[in-house]
Amino acid sequence: MTSFRPLLAALGSIACLAAAGPAGAQGTYPDKPIRIIVPFPAGGVVDGVARIVGQGLSSKYGQPVIVENKPGAGGALGTGVVAKAPPDGYTLLMVSPSHAVAPSLQKGITWDPVRDFRGVAGFGVIPNVIVVHPSVPAKSMKEFIELARSSKEPMTYASSGIGTSSHLTGELLAQSAKVELAHVPYKGQPDATSDLLSGRVNMMPMSTSLALPYIKAGKLVALGVTTARPSSLLPQAPPIADAAGLAGFDVGTWLAMLAPAKVPDAILKKLSDDVAEVLARSDVKPRIEALGLEGDFRTGPQVDALVKEEVARWSRVVKQAGIRAE
């Protein structure tokens, strides 16, 4: 038996090295290119943030960080790609509130926004502002709600399509204020904005950055922002939660990075820390803020909590309103 001891010892060493392989791989992460899937077309805010952060991570890691746009089905197509990707930290996903809304609106979605993903980082929120055409006799959110309650015909509001942020924000406003508002969906933001500017519709929830030029020109009137905190772009517009007495009303377009659910904790922590470091850089922070994002960085667990809250909230709104995707 003694003649086999060197062989057994060698086999034991090989087994130990094999067992240490995954841990060693995590320790050297990343050692190959990373993909960031954006489930929307190129050129939007989500795409812009992904490219800024991707450039920062690439310079830090010395590895390519490739942004891939995979639009379709309101973001569900690209999201499904990441849900099925190997949980090794080399395929990541950029999301917005549609990630939490899609399962309530669309049939046939096979992924779950909570079960199949874990948060990496949150990048802040783009506040929305409720704007009306100047012909509407309301200069505050409180006055608009009173007008909606007393009007013989429902006040109208435009959106860029069924299930979009502007649609759901308007529906949440109607439910919170207990008023009837008539939703007028359009095929996109430009058409909706055009009819709002012409006075064909009364109101629309819009991103502050998009609405600001029209507000400054006197073509639209800002009634209040939809976030709990005032917007740095529109400090004169109060949060409607306070101004209109709608406690808990807090809506904005948040952006976050996710990973497949089974990515190891060590890799998630590294990614989160490194994204935070990139966002704090003096050459990156102004570029993110220029896209309209406000608020604080969120850690992975904070993103997970946010997604759970958003799924619960929008499923209630969608069910109560009976909204169905086009």
Q: Which two tokens stand for residue 301?
A: 């667990």
pLDDT (tens digit per residue) in 273-312: 999 999 999 999 999 988 889 988 999 999 999 999 999 9
Return left, alpha or beta for 161; rule: phi > 0 is left, psi -120 to 50 is alpha, else beta.
Answer: left
d(CA 260, CA 116): 6
Side-chain half-sphere of 34: how many Cα atoms within 13 Å? Answer: 28
CA angle 25, 29, 270 (to 5 degrees): 125
Give SS3 for 259.
Answer: strand
d(CA 124, CA 293): 6
Residue 10 has pLDDT above 60, yes or no: no
d(CA 229, CA 237): 10
Residue that is written with structure tokens 């992904």 in the block: 50
Q: Kindly give the interhelix angle for 265-279 and 45-61, rounded to the nearest 10 degrees.
A: 100
d(CA 33, CA 66): 7
pLDDT (tens digit per residue) in 309-322: 999 999 999 999 88
Task: Tell me how far apart the 2 most distant CA atoms of the chain are, in Å.
Answer: 99
Residue 3 has pLDDT above 60, yes or no: no
Measured between alpha carbons, how far is residue 137 from residues 95, 223, 234 in Å?
37, 11, 21
pLDDT-based confidence at 326, cuts 50/70/90?
low
pLDDT-based confidence at 27, cuts 50/70/90?
low
pLDDT (tens digit per residue) in 230-266: 999 899 999 999 999 999 999 999 999 999 999 999 9
Q: Kindly give the interhelix angle for 165-177 and 300-321, rounded to the nearest 10 degrees.
A: 70
Cβ burial of 259 (10 Å; 0-12, 13-18, 19+) is: buried
3 beta partners = none
Count of CB atoms situated within 10 Å of the CB of 100: 22
Q: What is the mean pLDDT of the chain?
A: 90
Phi/psi of residue 65, nearest 5 degrees: -120, 110
118 beta partners = 259
The DSSP symbol for 162 reads T
Max mean pLDDT range (49-53, 101-105, 231-235): 49-53
Q: Which residues of 268-294 are buried (b: 16+ CB within 10 A; e: fewer)?
A: bebbbebbeebbeeeebeebbeebbbb
Residue 54 has pLDDT above 50, yes or no: yes
Average pLDDT in the 100-125 region? 94
Residue that is written with structure tokens 């946010």 in the block: 306
CA angle 219, 221, 222 (to 5 degrees): 135
Q: Which two tokens stand for residue 286?
A: 């102004």
pLDDT (tens digit per residue) in 77-91: 999 999 999 999 999
Give SS3 for 74.
Answer: helix
244 beta partners = none
pLDDT-based confidence at 16, cuts 50/70/90?
very low
Residue 1 has pLDDT above 50, yes or no: no
Return left, alpha or beta for 155; rule: phi > 0 is left, psi -120 to 50 is alpha, else beta.
Answer: beta
Residue 167 has pLDDT above 90, yes or no: yes
